């Protein structure tokens, strides 16, 4: 379960308690939770935030940097904040077939993530051609309207059940979905 966090939620000072309460209320194990932060939140050398993330990481919570490539891209925080995944901003992904520079950025992020043993997710996949190109350059995870627009909770649950049934029936791994 990935949860996108805003800087306001982090600055409020109750993130640790909020995460613990949500885990307790949902029954979700911490290792199944991934908190997504934007690069802008991480650019300041913030020792209290680093300590908070370490405490959550010790519980098993995972972290991703959302919209990677649109902020300051300080590569040092990839190590200091112990992120496990980069999410490539959809602006690069959506334009990559038409713009060689955008494809180069996507390729560089994928290669860097692989070299650092980080997961990488392409956001904004809207068609089969983009999906195929991402697979060619080594990106194995993605999200976007190619599969489905955002759905209300009840519709999402039905969609997820159907998708799981298709994956189980095919015997293929559920990557890029």
pTM, full prediction: 0.77
Token duo for residue 96? 């990559």
Compute φ and ψ for 12, nearest 5 degrees.
-60, -30
pLDDT at site 71: 62
Burial class (CB in 10 A: 0-12, 13-18, 19+), 9: middle
DSSP 82: T
Distance CA 174, CA 177 (A): 6
pLDDT at site 148: 86
Please state the CATH superfamily assignment of the domain spanning residues 2-149 in this structure: EAL domain (3.20.20.450)
Span 119-148, mean pLDDT? 94
């Amino acid at each position: 379960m990935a949860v996108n966090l805003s800087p306001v939620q982090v600055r409020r000072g109750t993130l640790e308690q909020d995460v613990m309460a949500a885990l307790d209320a949902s029954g979700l194990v911490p290792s199944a939770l991934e908190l997504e932060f934007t690069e802008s939140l991480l650019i300041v050398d913030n020792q209290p935030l680093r300590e908070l993330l370490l405490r959550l990481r010790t519980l098993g919570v995972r972290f991703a940097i959302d919209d990677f490539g649109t902020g300051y891209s300080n590569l040092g925080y990839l190590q200091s904040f112990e992120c496990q995944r980069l999410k490539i901003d959809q602006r690069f992904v959506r334009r990559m077939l038409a713009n060689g520079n955008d494809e180069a950025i996507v390729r560089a992020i994928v290669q860097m993530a692989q070299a650092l043993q980080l997961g990488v997710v392409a956001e904004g996949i809207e068609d089969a051609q983009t999906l195929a190109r991402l697979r060619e350059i080594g990106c194995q995870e993605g999200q976007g309207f190619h599969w489905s627009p955002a759905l209300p909770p009840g519709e999402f649950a039905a969609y997820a059940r159907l998708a799981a049934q298709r994956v189980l029936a095919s015997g293929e791994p559920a990557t890029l979905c």
